[in-house]
Amino acid sequence: MSKVLFLSVPSHGNVNPTLGLVNELVQQGEEIVYFSSDIFKEKIEQAGATYKRYIEDLDIFKMEGSSEDGPDPIHRVIHSADKIIADILQQTEGMQFDYMIHSAAFPFACALKQILKVPTVGSLAIFAGLKDFFDEGNNTEEEVFPGMEELSNSYKQAAERIIQTYGVPMPDTVMGLLMNKGDLNFVYTSEYFISPEDKAFFDDSYCFVGPPVYSRRDIQTDFPLERLYGRKVIYISLGTVFSNYKPELYDLFFKAFENMDAVIVMTAYNVDLSHKRIPDNFIVRNYVPQSLILRYADAAITHAGMNSISDLIYRNVPFVSIPLGADQPELAKRAAELGATIMLDAATVTAEEIREATQAVMRDPIYLEHIQAINESFAEAGGYKRAAEEIFKMKQEKGIIS
């Protein structure tokens, strides 16, 4: 048995793909200490890991920017870099780790790998569009992080404190914190689904293990499933990060489906809809047990986030894509290229287009045929069992005895 340190960026897109891996490793005898934030505590403990809380909120990918309450997340995290590292080391004092697993975007994986002197496994939450994003000259740091001069100064000061305290080199720029490569790296899709352009980004250290689908016990138990029995069901979710990005979309959903003979299950994560008239055939919740709802869904509308699009394909649910940001446009585009979805433009879409596209993916079997082709490639990728096998191979190569 090995003792494993797991450092995740505490966002749904980074944590959720790792829960199945944690569970698989725990079942095979590994002991995992997992750092995140309290919102994920129950999920992490259900997967079998020991939960520990970061001293700071490391969700640097929140949509909110600066506010009167203080600096935006990336500025706050960079400013507190040395404190965050020191706290992780203090909370794990006396523990001897055999290897470390980390989100590729965990800002201080590079420093902690050198401090702890252990092999590392990278968990990549985003795989679409990375080549263009990191292509030199394609994006300036100012484009990625507004207020870059101030952020750069904060980073230089924090990096210097880390260098002086621990004697380890740090990346030259803030951008260097966002892509931390491990000795072994997991990408949660299949080689078939990834585009040829994106595939050029990955070298032999990257392993395509299939979608991040993990059967866990859903936290919510009060969902009225009886309302779905024997009915046509359409599931709508815009995820957690971009759920408030275009609130007018919810009005379009209401208009598109209010007169349809179907039950519409819609998540509206942290979205205030109290002032809107919600049609009687809608069930709207802040959270719904997605994996459970998809057993009943005839079609879905998604923002095309990695976790959601993989879940829909894995469960053979026809879907319409309305990407909102990050890697979602690239994921939706690839799914459309493979004939698995209809992609709509969030900036111009109408209620009529939403309704027609949803009816099209439900009625035309070609969409489901193409989804099933992708699904077959997912199965061939091997899933979390394959990921665990690759970790044990790495342990053997690194001389880790457990």
Domain residues of the chain, as ranges?
A: 3-210+382-397, 225-379
pLDDT at 175: 76
Domain 3-210+382-397 fold is: Rossmann fold (3.40.50)
The sheet carrying 341-343 orders its strands as 282-285, 263-267, 233-237, 299-302, 319-321, 341-343
Q: What is the pTM of this model?
A: 0.83
pLDDT classification of 2: cutoffs 50, 70, 90? very high
Domain 225-379 fold is: Rossmann fold (3.40.50)
Q: What percent of the chain stands above pLDDT 90?
A: 64
Q: How far apart are the first and last CA of the chain?
A: 4
Compute the distance between CA of residue 129 and CA of residue 328 in angstroms, rounded to an integer.
9
Compute the distance between CA of residue 85 and CA of residue 104 in angstroms, rounded to an integer.
16
- The answer to whether residue 162 scores a pLDDT higher than 50 is yes
Compute the distance between CA of residue 241 and CA of residue 43 in angstroms, rounded to an integer.
18
- The answer to whether residue 126 scores a pLDDT higher than 80 is no
CA angle 13, 314, 362 (to 5 degrees): 110
pLDDT, mean over the chain: 88
Using CA atoms of 268, 278, 246, 71 in order, give the dihedral in degrees to the nearest 10.
-50
pLDDT at 127: 73
- The answer to whether residue 402 scores a pLDDT higher than 90 is no
- The answer to whether residue 188 scores a pLDDT higher than 50 is yes
- The answer to whether residue 303 scores a pLDDT higher than 90 is yes
Q: Are strands 263-267 and 233-237 parallel, antiparallel or unpaired?
A: parallel
- The answer to whether residue 239 scores a pLDDT higher than 50 is yes
> Mean pLDDT throughout 97-103?
97
Residue pair 301/319 in contact by the 8 Å Cβ criterion:
yes
Plot region of 123 (φ>0 → left; ψ -120 to 50 → alpha; else → beta): beta
Using CA atoms of 377, 382, 383, 386 in order, give the dihedral in degrees to the nearest 10.
-150
